[in-house]
Amino acid sequence: MNKKAVNEMKLSFPSYSENERFSRIAVSGFLTQLDPQIDELSEIKTAVSEGVTNCIVHAYRDTVGEISLQVRIFDKGRVYIKIRDKGCGIDDVEKAMEPLFTTAPEEERAGLGFAVMESFMDKIKVRSQKGKGTTVVMEKTLKTRKALR
């Protein structure tokens, strides 16, 4: 399982909401080398947008902090995405991942971010520590038409 990535990129940026768009477009730009299908790319962009927005809205609620985003491409079109913050952390990850659960209903949050990530990606893993931050790792294997290298 510990295979070497065929290609990878890392980004880090402050938790400004302007960077929501930037981050999903950066990921989609990086993945064009796999010649993905439009709907696969839309799904990944949406999942990235959910993860990054959660850092901005929840992790760094009243502050600005660093968000790091890592994308790795493995062979056979397997894509690995890691989104990490050093924000407030999540009390109960299992509960947070339940559809419609939100701690910010008054801000018109639907509580569907994790549900979207789960349904649009093949795998998702969330690690969080109260006061230390949260890491979301997602994977998806693209029905790529182009074998990379």
Ligand X SMILES: Nc1ncnc2c1ncn2[C@@H]1O[C@H](COP(=O)(O)OP(=O)(O)OP(=O)(O)O)[C@@H](O)[C@H]1O
Which residues are annotated as catalytic?
50, 54, 109
Q: How far is the CB of 12 from Mg ion (least distance, A)?
A: 20
Using an 8 Å Cβ cutoff, are 69 and 48 in contact? yes
* Residue for token pair 């690995």: 80
Q: What's CA 62's distance to the chain center, in Å?
A: 21
Site for Mg ion in 20-59 (CB under 5 A): 54
Structure tokens at 120: 């649009």
Instruction: Report if residue 144 touches ligand X, rule: CB under 6 A.
Output: no
Using the rule CB under 6 A, give the single segment among 14-22, 26-34, 67-75, 89-97 that binds ligand X: 89-97
Instruction: Report if residue 69 touches another protein, rule: CB under 8 A.
Output: no
Using an 8 Å Cβ cutoff, are 42 and 63 in contact? no
Instruction: Report if residue 59 touches ligand X, rule: CB under 6 A.
Output: yes
Using an 8 Å Cβ cutoff, are 83 and 48 in contact? yes
CA distance 37 to 101: 31
Task: Among 113, 120, 121, 124, indicate the residue that binds ligand X (CB under 6 A).
Answer: 113
**Residues near Mg ion (CB under 5 A):** 54, 113
Give the binding site for ligand X (CB under 6 A): 50, 54-55, 57-59, 85, 87-90, 96, 101-104, 109-114, 134
